[in-house]
Amino acid sequence: MKHTLKLTAAVMIAACGLFGLPAQSSAIEIAESLIVDLDASTFNSGDLSWANAGSYDDFDAVNAPLRISIEGTPAVYLNGSQAFSGFNPAPEGIVGLDPTRTIEAWVFNPSIASEETVVSWGHRGGPAGTNMSFNYGNHGNYGAVGHWDAPDLGWINNDPDYTAGAPEANQWHLLTYTYDGEVTRVYADGELWNEEETLLLYGGLNTYDDTAIAIGSQWDSVDVLTGALKASMAYGRVRVHDGVLSDSQIAANYASEKDGFKSPLPPGPAVPQPIPTGPIHRYSFSNAAGDATDAVLVDSVGGEDGVVRGDGAIFDGSSLVLPGGTSDIAPYGDLPNGLISKLTDATIETWYTLDGAQNWGRVFDFGSTDVGGEGGELDEPGGGGEGLDYLQMSTSRGTDTTVARLEMRDEDPRGGGVTTVDVVGPGDAPSDLTHITVVYDSDGSPFTGGATLSVYQNGELIGSGDTQLELGNINDVNNWLGRSNWTADSNVQGSFDEFRIYDYALDKNQVLGNYEAGPDTVNIGGGGLRGDFNNDGILDAADIDALTGESASGANNLAYDLTGDSVVDGSDVAEWIKADDIKKSWIGDANLDGEFNTSDLVVLFSGGKYETGEAAVWSTGDFTGDGLFTTSDLVSALSDGGYEAGTRAAVAAVPEPASATLLLLGSLAMLRRRRK
C-alpha cells in the first residue's frame, strides 16, 4: 500500500513562495488518474531526464533543454530542436479506438508558428485519426490538434476557410485538450475555444499504440522524432489524464493555478523606423522588358551580380518573372556563392508576387545539395538531390499555400541539425506584392542569449524560433531565387521586384519602416525629429505612448534609447517630455499641451487606470515607464515642479513646488501610508 502525505493548501502556498514555485491554491481536479504529471521546478539545465510524478515513465531529455525563469516562474524551455521522450509506448487507456483522455499544459510561446507540438503520441503518416498531437499553432486547420487528416482541429472554428489564430503569444496559458470518445475539445485558460464531433463526422479515432509520449515533438515513426514541428516554447506544468475533465473541472484547475504564472507586460507595437545603414547587396530587376534567359542580375550596391539560369523567364521592366515548374527545366535566379556564410547576423528582404502554387516553391534557398559539382554546387537546371546546408523560405508546404516554411539546415557535414519555423502562408495565389523579411540574429533570444530565426510578412512578425545553428557553417554555393536545393521541389511561379541582403539583424521597427517605404526606397535614417518614433514628422502621443510601452516591456529596443545609456527606461521617458529639442514640457503633461495643470489630472483619472494594475502608457498615467499608473507616477509629476507653472519655455529655472503642489504631495503621502 502506498502512503502519501497531503499538505494543506496554506502549507503548499507557503512552500511555493519560499522556493519560488508557482502556487496552487487547492488540489487540482483529476480525471481518473494522472499518467503524466510534470513540473518545471523538478528539472534543471543539464539533467538527463525530467521526473514524472504520474504513472508513466520519466522523460529523457533530447538535445539539452534548459531551465529558465519567466517573471519568477520556473520553466523548461525548448528551442525548436529540443524535446523530451518517454521510453515505453503510451498506455492503453489513451491509445487505440476512441480512447478517453485529457491533456493540460501551462505553456509560454514567444512567437506562434502554424504548428508547434506541445505533447504527442501515436505517429504521423496516416491513415486519418491515428496521430495524437496537441499543438500550440495558429493554422486554422491543425493549429490546435493533429489527429492526422480530416479529424485535425484549429483553435478558432471548423469553417471551410479554417480561420487562423491561437491564444496570445508571449503570455502564460493553460491549454487543455479532451476527447471523450465522440467529441474533441480544446480550451485556453479554462474556456472552451473549439470543438468537433469527431465520431459523427469522421468515424472516430484509432490512435497508434506503438510510440512513447513525447513533449515538444511528434513522431514520424516508432523510433523517429519529426525533424520539424517542434516546440519553441516554455513549459511550466504538463498533465495527461486517463479520463476526461469536465468544463467546470478545467475552469477550476485554471483558477487554482493561474496566480502562480505571471506573464511579462506585452511588448509595445512596432513603430516604423529608418535603418542605420543600407543593404550590402541589392537586386532591383529593373532590366528592360524582354527575354531574361542568361541575363545578368545586377547588384547595385555590392557588385555581386547574379545570372538567370534556364529558359522561360522574362523581365517586365520592373521585375524578374519566373513561370514555375519542375527544377530540371524551370528557370531561376542564381546569385554568387558565399553571400551569407561570411556574416554573423543577417537580414534577407524581398518584395515578390506569388502567381501560383508549386510543390514546395521557394522564395529563396541559399545552401548546397548532395548531388552536384564541387561542394554540391549546381550551375544549371537539373541535377541535385537532397538539400544539405541551407537557409530557405518557401511559399508553401507542399502545394498548400496556406502554410509557408522558414528553415535552416546544417547537414554538410552531417550532424549539425535543423531549425524549422512553419508560418501562415500567403493563401491561394493572391497575386499581390508581398514583403518578406527573414532575420537571423546571433544573440536575439531573450531566454538563452543565443540565435533566433524570424520571418516577417508585410511588416508583421509571423514566426520566430531559437536556433543553435550558425550562418558561418552554411555551405552556400547554391544561392538561388525561386529554386530549392531539394531536386524534387518545384521552382516558384511568381515575380521578384526587389531583393536585399543586410549584414545585421533588422528589428521589428526597421522591418515595418522598410515595408512602409516600399521596394524602391532604401529607408536610411537621418534628418528626422529626435523622439519621432513613428517617423511621421510630429512629436505626439503616439510617440511617447510607444516609448512608455517599450520601457515597460523590458525589450530594451535601442531605437527608443534617448539618453544613450543603452537602456530603455523611465529616464528616456523623462528625456522625451523635458528635453529642449523634443517636447520641452513637464512630467505630468498627459494631454501634451505644454503645461501640467488640472486639465491633465482630469485626463488621467478619467482613463480609469489608477492603481488598477492594468497596463498604462503616458496618456493614461504612466510617467515612469513601468507600464502602470500608480501613486509613484503622480509623485514623479508633482516633484518635477511644473504643476500650474505654465509652459517650461516660460520658466527660467525649475521652480520650487508651489503651495498647491505641496498640498497634493502631502495628500499622496498620506494615501500611501494608508495603503501600507
pLDDT in tens, 609-663: 999 999 999 999 999 999 999 999 999 999 999 999 999 875 544 444 445 454 5
Residue of 80, 167, 113 whose CA lies nearest to 452: 80
Q: For Cα atoms 648, 652, 654, give the angle at the middle one, nearest 5 degrees.
A: 65
User: What was the pLDDT predicted at 669?
Assistant: 46
CA end-to-end distance (rounded Å), the chain: 50
Does residue 22 register a pLDDT over 70? no
Beta strands in 243-386 (DSSP E): 281-283, 290-291, 296-297, 306-309, 314-315, 320-326, 332-335, 346-356, 362-369
User: What was the pLDDT predicted at 8?
Assistant: 35
Lowest mean pLDDT among 41-55, 153-167, 401-415, 638-652: 638-652
H or E element that contains 634: helix 631-639
Query: Exposed (0-12), middle (13-18) or buried (19+): which is 526, by Cβ within 10 Å?
Result: exposed
Q: Which residues contact 85 (CB under 8 A, 6 or more apart)?
A: 59, 60, 62, 212, 213, 214, 215, 217, 225
User: What was the pLDDT predicted at 6?
Assistant: 31
The backbone region for 673, taken as left when phi is positive above 0, alpha when psi lies in -120 to 50, beta otherwise, is alpha
Give the span between the Cα atoms of 299 and 132, in whole angstroms.
49
Distances (CA, A) of 88 to 68, 92, 222, 407, 432: 28, 11, 11, 31, 50
Does residue 673 register a pLDDT over 50? no
User: What was the pLDDT predicted at 76?
Assistant: 98
pLDDT in tens, 97-137: 999 999 999 999 998 988 999 999 999 999 999 999 999 99
The backbone region for 278, taken as left when phi is positive above 0, alpha when psi lies in -120 to 50, beta otherwise, is beta
pLDDT band at 413 (very low <50, low <70, confident <90, very high): confident
What cell numbers appear for 426 in the block?
Answer: 500567403
More confident residue, 376 or 32: 32
Could you give the angle at which helices 570-578 and 541-553 cross, rounded to 10 degrees?
160
Q: What share of the chain is helix, strand, coil (3-state, %, to 5)?
A: 15, 30, 50
What cell numbers appear for 529 in the block?
Answer: 525629429
Cis peptide before 127 (omega within 30 of 0): yes
Residue 58 C-alpha from the chain's centroid: 29
> Is-contact 489 359, C-beta < 8 A?
yes
Query: CATH says 9-260 is which class?
Result: mainly beta
Residue of 317, 203, 445, 435 whose CA lies nearest to 454: 445
Does residue 20 register a pLDDT over 90? no
User: What was the pLDDT predicted at 527?
Assistant: 52
User: What was the pLDDT predicted at 666?
Assistant: 53
What cell numbers appear for 337 in the block?
Answer: 556563392
| Bridge partners (DSSP) listed for residue 107 | 173, 235
User: What was the pLDDT predicted at 431?
Assistant: 72
DSSP state of 54: S
What cell numbers appear for 583 in the block?
Answer: 517636447
Put the strands of the sheet holding 403-410 in their side by side order.
296-297, 306-309, 332-335, 478-481, 362-369, 387-394, 403-410, 417-424
Which H, E and C letters describe 203-247, residue by residue? CCCEECCCCCCEECCCEEECCEECCCCCCEEEEEEEEEECCCCCH
Cis peptide before 519 (omega within 30 of 0): no
Q: What is the mean pLDDT of residues 468-489?
A: 96
Q: What is the mean pLDDT of residues 207-229?
A: 94
More confident residue, 542 or 20: 542
User: What was the pLDDT predicted at 222?
Assistant: 87
User: What was the pLDDT predicted at 372?
Assistant: 64
Does residue 35 register a pLDDT over 60? yes
Residues carrying CATH 2.60.120.200, the chain: 9-260, 281-517
Distances (CA, A) of 550 to 341, 627, 660: 33, 9, 33
Residue found under cell 533588422: 506
Residue of 404, 368, 406 whose CA lies nearest to 387: 368
DSSP state of 161: T
**Domain at 281-517: CATH architecture:** Sandwich (2.60)
User: Percentage of residues in the chain with pLDDT exceeding 70?
Assistant: 91
Helices (H) and strands (E) in the chain — how many of each? 9, 36
DSSP string, 465-529: EEE---GGG---SEEEES--SBTTSEEEEEEEEEEEEESS---HHHHHHHHHH-TT---B--SPP
* Mean pLDDT of the chain, nearest integer: 90
Q: What is the mean pLDDT of residues 280-287?
A: 96
pLDDT in tens, 343-357: 999 999 999 999 999
Q: What is the mean pLDDT of residues 325-338?
A: 97
Does residue 492 register a pLDDT over 50? yes
